[in-house]
Amino acid sequence: MTVSDEILYSYASAARDLWLSTTPQKEQVPEHHFSMRFERRMKKLLREQRRSPQANRVIRRTRQAVAVLLIAFVVTFSAAMTVDAFRERVIKVVVQVFHELTDYRFTSHEATNTLFSVAEIGYVPHGMIKTHEEFMDGHAYALYENDDGEFFELTKEQVLSGDSYQMILDTELSEYKEFDLHGNPAYNNEKNGNSTILWYDESCVYTLFSNLSLEELKEVASSIK
C-alpha cells in the first residue's frame, strides 16, 4: 500500500491528539528552580538588551581602552621597578573607575610555588550549606545557600607569574568602599541589595558575592584562608 500525502494529512490531526494526550498536564510538571549563577547571567543579558546598541558599543570600546591602558601601565611599571621591589607583593592591582563600571586588573610578576587548593572558610552563617562546588587548575568556586533565600558565592583565582586576572563590576549608582583585609586592600561594591567583596592574598584573587549584610559578609571574608 502506498502512503500518499493525502492519507498522511487525513490522519495528522488524530496523531496530534494522540501525542498530546500522552504529555503531562501543566500542573503536573514540577517547577524548575534556576541557580543563582544562571539568574545573574540572565539579568546581565537583559541589562545589555535594554541598553541601546550605541551604549553597548561605548561600553565595549571603554573596556578595550582600559585593556590598552593597563598593558601600557604594566610595561612602564615593570621597567621602572627593581626585582627587590617586585618581591614586596606577588600581585599588583590596577583600578580604573568609569561612569558605569569599575575595572580591576590583578597582575603577577613573581613565580610562586604555592599549591592551589580550595579556600577554607572558617565562618559560615547559621543555616547555610554548600549547594554547589567547582574546582580545576587555578580556579575554585563554591555556593552556599539557606532556606530563606540568602546566599554567598566564593570564587578563588590563582594568578601565576606573567598572568593577569580581570574583574569588571557594574558600579553605576552603587555604594563603594575600601577596607583592609589580611593586610591587603579589599574593594566592596553594594548595589540592588547585593554586595561584592574583591581582594587578593599571596598569589590568589578572591571574590565574594552575596545578599547578606556587609558586616556578615566581611566576617566570612576575614575567616577565609
The ranges assigned to domains in the chain are 36-222
Burial class (CB in 10 A: 0-12, 13-18, 19+), 202: middle
pLDDT (mean) for 135-144: 91
Alpha helices in 51-150 (DSSP H): 53-80, 83-86
pLDDT classification of 144: cutoffs 50, 70, 90: very high
pLDDT at 13: 81
Burial class (CB in 10 A: 0-12, 13-18, 19+), 2: exposed
Q: Distance between CA atoms of 159 and 162, rounded to whole angstroms?
A: 8
176 phi, psi to nearest 5 deg = -115, 135
Q: To 5 degrees, how large is the angle CA 185–CA 189–CA 191?
A: 175
pLDDT at 141: 93
CA distances, 15 to each of 3, 4, 20, 22, 123 (Å): 15, 16, 9, 11, 59
pLDDT (mean) for 200-218: 91
pLDDT (mean) for 169-180: 82
Convert the pLDDT of each residue in 13-50 to its tens digit: 887 878 777 777 766 666 666 676 677 777 767 766 66
pLDDT at 84: 40
pLDDT (mean) for 72-89: 45
Say if CB 154 and CB 142 are below 8 A apart: yes
40-49, 68-77, 158-167 — most confident range: 158-167
Q: Higher pLDDT residue, 171 or 121? A: 121
> 0.75 exceeded by the pTM?
no
Q: For 19, what's the count of Cα atoms within 13 Å in the CB-facing half-sphere?
A: 6
Convert the pLDDT of each residue in 194-208 to its tens digit: 999 999 887 889 999
Q: Higher pLDDT residue, 78 or 171? A: 171
